[in-house]
Chains A and B, each alone.
Chain A
Amino acid sequence: MKRLPLLWILAVGLLILALAAPVLLRNQQYWLFIAIQAYFWAMLASSWALLAGYAGQFSFGHIAFMAIAAYTSGILGRDLGWSPVSGIIAGTLMAGVVGLFIGYLCLRLRRTYLALFTIAFAEIFRLAVNAELDLTGGPMGLYIDYLLDTTSYVPYYYIMLGLLLGSLGFMYWLANSRFGLFFRSIREDEEAAAAMGVHIVRYKIMAFVVTSMIAGLAGAVDHHLIGFIAPTELIIGRMSLVIAMAVIGGVESLLGAALGAIFIHFSLEWLQQIPVPASLMPKLIAMQPTLEKFGLGVGDRGLMTYAWRMVAFGLLLMLTLRFWRNGLIHPIIDRLTRQRARKETVAKRVQAAEVESS
Chain B
Amino acid sequence: MQITGQYLMNLILNGLLIGCIYGLMAMGLTLIFSVLGIVSFAHGEFYMIGGYVVYYLLEVFTDLHPLLAILAAGLVTFLIGIVFERLFLQPMAKGKIERPGEYAILVTFGLAFFLQYLMAGIVGPHSKRADRFFDLPEVDLGWLTATATTLKIWELPFGASRLAAAAIAVLLLLVMIYFIKRTWVGKGLQAVSQDREAAAVIGINPLDMNTLAFGLGTMLAGLSGATLVNVFAWVPWVGVPASSKAFVVIVLGGMGSIPGAMLGGLIIGIVEALGSGLLPDPGRALAYKDGFGLLLFALVLLLKPTGLFGREL
Contacts and interface: CB of A to CB of B under 8 A. Distances in A.
A117 B110 contact: no
A314 B110 contact: yes
Contacts of A123: 240-241, 244, 290-291, 294
B101 A111 contact: yes
Contacts of A325: 97-99, 103
A295 B121 contact: yes
B53 interface: no
A326 to B, nearest CB: 10
A292 interface: yes
A131 B290 CA distance: 12
Residue with the highest number of chain B CB atoms closer than 10 Å, among A138, A244, A296, A322 = A322
Contacts of A293: 124
A111 B102 contact: yes
- For the residues of A in contact with B, the DSSP-based class is helix
Interface in B91-147: 91, 97-99, 101-107, 109-118, 120-124
A311 B117 contact: yes
Given A295-B124, A311-B118, A127 B288 contact: yes
Given A243-B109, A307-B117, A308-B121, A119 B103 contact: no
Interface stretch (B7-15, B197-205, B212-220, B298-306): B298-306
Contacts of B244: 119-120, 123
B106 A247 contact: yes
Nearest to A105: B302
Contacts of B97: 322, 325
Contact of B305 (A113, A314, A318): A113
A192 B116 CA distance: 40
B3 interface: no
Contacts of A311: 114, 117-118, 121
Nearest to A247: B106
A288 interface: no
Count class of interface residues, chain B? 35 or more
A128 interface: yes
B287 A131 contact: yes
Contacts of B109: 60, 240, 243
Contacts of B301: 109, 113, 116-117, 120
A235 interface: yes
B240 A315 contact: no
A20 interface: no
B158 interface: no
Contact of B91 (A113, A124, A322): A322
A237 B117 CA distance: 9
B164 to A, nearest CB: 29
Contacts of B101: 111-112
B41 interface: yes
Interface string A106-148: 0011011101110111011001101101000010000000000
A337 B98 CA distance: 24
B16 to A, nearest CB: 23
Given A120-B297, A307-B118, 5 more contacts: A128-B291, A247-B106, A295-B124, A314-B110, A322-B91
